[in-house]
Amino acid sequence: MDLAGRLAAGIRAAVEAVPEAAPFLADWPGGAERRAQTAGTLPVCRWLGGMAGDLAGMVAGGAGALEWRQTYGAGDFGAEFLSRYGWTEVVGLRGPIPSERVAAGFLLLGPEVTYPPHKHEAEEVYLPLSGRAWWQKGEVWRQVEPFTAIHHPGWVPHAMRTEGAPLLALYLWRGGDLAAKSEILREGG
């Protein structure tokens, strides 16, 4: 099985016991079709080296073969944020495993960074794999341990913040435009 297939199987296995993930898994693609990818890393990938665990280790080991991306530019959150932020899609409109109904991949945030409040039409589930982080849903911030699922219905404002350790989290998206950029929330937004 290729890297994309192994990662997709790992994502699926990691979220099978998460009740909020059931609708995502119902839309999971079943074919062996693959889309060509252009491998590329980002500055944030420097924190993958110390990731532990089966799925996190697979991401770290295969990072150089994955297409790491950023949704935002320096004008959105600044250059420092961009040096500590990236994601790679495994299943979806841009990932090597095509799907128009669900997207799945990995978010990587370096230490000491805040992913500012934002919202989007897509419903999402995150499952942190490595690193403890703070998650804001609505107005409430709470610290989340690895393997604790976080569910955001569509259009619910949310944010993330890391402290001394990087965060690697798998994500699932469904509903709406799977390639849409999030709406950034400013003060009072």
Q: Is residue 34 part of a domain?
A: no
Contact, 125 vs 173, CB < 8 A? no
Please write the tens of the pLDDT for every residue from 89-104: 999 999 999 999 999 9
Please write the tens of the pLDDT for every residue from 6-54: 999 999 999 999 999 999 999 999 989 999 999 999 999 999 997 889 9
Please write the tens of the pLDDT for every residue from 79-133: 999 999 999 999 999 999 999 999 999 999 999 999 999 999 999 999 999 998 9
Two tokens at 89? 């899609």
Entry pTM: 0.96
Q: Is residue 189 part of a domain?
A: no
pLDDT, average across residues 157-161: 96
Q: Is residue 89 part of a domain?
A: yes
Q: Is residue 141 part of a domain?
A: yes
- Quick one: what percent of the chain has pLDDT higher than 90? 91
Instruction: Tell me which residue range forms the domain holding 87.
Output: 3-28+40-184
Q: Is residue 60 part of a domain?
A: yes
pLDDT confidence band for 187 (50 / 70 / 90)? low
Q: Is residue 7 part of a domain?
A: yes
Mean pLDDT of the chain: 95
Number of folded domains in the chain? Answer: 1
Coil, strand or helix at 34: coil
Q: Is residue 67 part of a domain?
A: yes
Give the CATH number for residue 86: 2.60.120.10
Contact, 125 vs 103, CB < 8 A? no
pLDDT, average across residues 131-160: 94
SS3 content of the chain, % helix, strand, coil (to 5): 25, 35, 40
Please write the tens of the pLDDT for every residue from 8-21: 999 999 999 999 99
Q: Is the pLDDT of residue 189 over 50?
A: no
Q: Is residue 33 part of a domain?
A: no
* CA separation for the pair 132, 31 (Å, rounded): 34
What are the distances in angstroms from CA 149 to CA 3, 39, 171? 24, 28, 10
